[in-house]
Structures are given as structure tokens and as C-alpha cells.
């Protein structure tokens, strides 16, 4: 008798099950980043991914230690793949890539089938939070979010002192399609990069897309702190003419 073919599991339904510890998922890698291990400069401590299911559900993947060299050549942003034989662990901590209750951890027996059939979900790559939800503080501050808006307010770069050390911050305003406006503060390298790019743009609206950011209230004036960003974060500035 032939073995029954393992069916794909929807990402939203992934959870530890004592009767079934083998899952197969078909997903698109929408974000991939490396981070340092904090011991030796230049050493990669791990690779994290954000996987997107065809329906829009997301889950974070963690690849650690010697497994990095085993799998990194099979992975890349934008690629679609099939994954099997991985572990699930609770998605805890103050820095979460998705609101999914679990994370995927690769093991030595994890199987990656790359260059699989394309999944028609590239338009869902970014999951931008509405400004109304930000202003009403309905989002979970521990979960990274995507934010997009037109820069409409002052783009002022200044230096302040934090813990007896100089620090650059950038104050600006972002407006969404519904004309809601939020006040933002970017810190350090990101503050300088945004300010430099804005100064070089002329003759059109400037749209800022911030992916995988941790956002919280900076002060009592509902100014959002979107700086001191993690290695997961990417910023895209676009000039619309």
C-alpha cells in the first residue's frame, strides 16, 4: 500500500500536536535578515525570515548556529518554497516578527524545496498598519509592523544627549491616504539616512515605507518612536512626481 501524501497545512493552523509533529507548508519569503551574535564582530548569530502564506497569514522562522551555512543558499527574499520537518516553539519576547502564536525553528532534518510553483501573493508582501490603529494604540507594541505614509511635516534633524552621549534624532510627520497624520521620531543612523535622502529629493511628494518596525509612544504628545530600529527593519523612500 502506498504512503498517503502529506497535505499542506495553512500557516494559521500551525501549532504543536503530540499526534502530528510533521508539517508541510508552501510559502513566500517576504523578509530575510541576519543579526550579529554579539561575541565576534562580523559573526552571524542567526538568520530570521518572515514567511507569507497565500491567504496573507505570516509566521517567523529562526535559523541558528551551524544550520545557517546549511540553508542560507536555498533562501532569499521574494522566493517561494516548500518547507517540511521543522520545530514549532511559542512566539514570546519583546521583539516579534509576526503576531502568530508560534515560531518555526529549522533543524538538521528540515527540508527546503526551492523554486517551487509561484504563489500569487506578492501584493501582500507588506502588511501596513492603519494610522487610526496607531493613534488608538490598538496594536501590540511587541510585534513589528509596516508603516507607509507621505512625509508632510518638518523633517528636522537635531542632536540630543542620551545617557551622557550625543544622539541624532529626526522629527517628521507622515500622512496616510485617509489624511490621518502621525508625528514620528527616528533615531541615530536611520534619522541621518532619511534626512539626507529627503534633502536630495525635489519636485514631488515623498513616500516613506518602513518595514518590520517596533513602534511605541515616545512622549505624552502621542509622538511615535520609530527609531533605534532592529536589524530586521528596512526603509524605502520614493519620490512621486
pLDDT of residue 221: 52
The answer to pTM > 0.85 is no
Which one of 123, 153, 183 terminates a domain? 123
**Co-location of 15 and 75 in the same domain:** yes
Would 202 be classed as within a structural domain? yes
Domain count, the chain: 2
Domain with 140 in it: 131-240
Would 2 be classed as within a structural domain? no
| Neighbour count for residue 94 (Cβ, 10 Å) | 8
Would 1 be classed as within a structural domain? no
Which one of 76, 102, 123 terminates a domain? 123
**Co-location of 138 and 208 in the same domain:** yes
Percent of the chain whose predicted confidence (pLDDT) is above 90: 33
pLDDT of residue 241: 40
Which one of 93, 123, 153 terminates a domain? 123
| Phi, psi dihedral angles at 163 (to 5 degrees) | 55, 45
Answer yes or no: is pLDDT of 228 > 50: no
The CA–CA distances, whole Å, from 211 to 12, 44, 137, 147, 232 equal 21, 21, 18, 7, 8
Give pLDDT tens digits for 35-83: 777 666 667 778 999 999 998 999 999 999 899 999 999 999 999 999 9
Amino acid at each position: 500500500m502506498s504512503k498517503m501524501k502529506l497535505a499542506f497545512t495553512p500557516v494559521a493552523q500551525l501549532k504543536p500536536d503530540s499526534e502530528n509533529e510533521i508539517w508541510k507548508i508552501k510559502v513566500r519569503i517576504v523578509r530575510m535578515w541576519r543579526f550579529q551574535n554579539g561575541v565576534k564582530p562580523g559573526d552571524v548569530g542567526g538568520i530570521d525570515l518572515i514567511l507569507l502564506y497565500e491567504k496573507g497569514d505570516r509566521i517567523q522562522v529562526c535559523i541558528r548556529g551551524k544550520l545557517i551555512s546549511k540553508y542560507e543558499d536555498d533562501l532569499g527574499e521574494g522566493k517561494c518554497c516548500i518547507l517540511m520537518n521543522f520545530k514549532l516553539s511559542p512566539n514570546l519576547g519583546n521583539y516579534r516578527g509576526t503576531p502568530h502564536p508560534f515560531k518555526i525553528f529549522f533543524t538538521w532534518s528540515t527540508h527546503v524545496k526551492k523554486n517551487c510553483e509561484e504563489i500569487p501573493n506578492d501584493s501582500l508582501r507588506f502588511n501596513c498598519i492603519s494610522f487610526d490603529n496607531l493613534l488608538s494604540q490598538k496594536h501590540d507594541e511587541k510585534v513589528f509592523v509596516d508603516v507607509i505614509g507621505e512625509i508632510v511635516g518638518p523633517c528636522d534633524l537635531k542632536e540630543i544627549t542620551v545617557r551622557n552621549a550625543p544622539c541624532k534624532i529626526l522629527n517628521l510627520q507622515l500622512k496616510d491616504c485617509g489624511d490621518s497624520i502621525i508625528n514620528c521620531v527616528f533615531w541615530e543612523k536611520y534619522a541621518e539616512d532619511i534626512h539626507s535622502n529627503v534633502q536630495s529629493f525635489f519636485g514631488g511628494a515623498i513616500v516613506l515605507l518602513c518595514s518590520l518596525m517596533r513602534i511605541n509612544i515616545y512622549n505624552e504628545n502621542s509622538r511615535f518612536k520609530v527609531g533605534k530600529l532592529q536589524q530586521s527593519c528596512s526603509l524605502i523612500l520614493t519620490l512621486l512626481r
